[in-house]
């Protein structure tokens, strides 16, 4: 009788043990994915906090794609792209993080020029939008007179589950 019971119980225990081992493996993979996503969100929020610590009039110059308008000289500002330790950029990309501003590229492919414009089509940033508080949306460059600055940050990376994306937005403004 005991051999029959063991013969029945052993396969049941092996199946249960196999399920337990798979559950531990899946938990480890999920934990790694959650850790990566947490790193992405923290880096985006940290970038927003650094922006909030700057004078509003300087944020556009510090975080746009143009290195020639950096307040301390060309190439000295943080810029619009950033790395996050532990996250792997997507294939063909150098950085995982990118700052988005309501800009329109008006230059050429040889000499790109980015203008901070109220008539941009960045729907995720709430554009078109009045940036200087004159109750009008125009097609002028407001890099020098904005009082409201919508900002988006995207973090894109390759994880063990494939490409991942975290997107955050905020609006900076100056209260008087």
Of the two residues 101 and 13, the one the predictor is more confident about is 101
> Average pLDDT for residues 134-152, to the nearest whole number?
94
Contact 157, 88 (CB under 8 A): yes
The partner residues of 151 in beta bridges, in order of sequence, read: 170
Domains of the chain: which residue ranges?
A: 2-173
Residue with tokens 């940050």: 153
User: CA-to-CA distance for 129 and 110, rounded, in angstroms?
Assistant: 29
pLDDT over 70 at 176, yes or no: no
Residue 14 pLDDT level (bands cut at 50, 70, 90)? confident
pLDDT tens track for 81-109: 999 999 999 999 999 999 999 999 888 87
Burial 119-131 (b: 16+ CB within 10 A, else e): ebebeebebbbeb
How many CB atoms neighbour CB 84 within 10 A? Answer: 20
- What does the mean pLDDT of the chain come to? 90
pLDDT tens digits for range 20-75: 888 877 777 667 788 899 999 999 999 999 999 999 999 999 999 988 889 999 88
């Amino acid at each position: 009788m005991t051999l029959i019971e063991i013969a029945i119980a052993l396969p049941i225990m092996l199946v249960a043990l196999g399920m337990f081992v798979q559950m531990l493996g899946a938990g480890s993979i999920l934990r790694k994915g959650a850790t990566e996503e947490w790193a992405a969100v923290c880096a985006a929020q940290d970038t927003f906090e650094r922006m909030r610590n700057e004078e509003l009039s300087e944020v556009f110059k510090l975080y746009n794609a143009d290195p020639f308008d950096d307040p301390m000289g060309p190439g000295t500002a943080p810029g619009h792209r950033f790395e996050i330790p532990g996250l792997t950029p997507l294939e063909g990309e150098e950085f995982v993080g990118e700052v988005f501003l309501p800009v329109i590229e008006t230059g050429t492919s040889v000499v790109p020029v980015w203008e901070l414009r109220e008539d941009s089509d960045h729907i995720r940033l709430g554009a078109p939008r009045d940036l200087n508080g004159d109750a009008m949306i125009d097609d002028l460059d407001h890099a020098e007179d904005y009082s409201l600055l919508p900002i988006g940050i995207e973090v894109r990376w390759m994880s063990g589950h494939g490409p991942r994306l975290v997107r955050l937005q905020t609006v900076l403004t100056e209260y008087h």
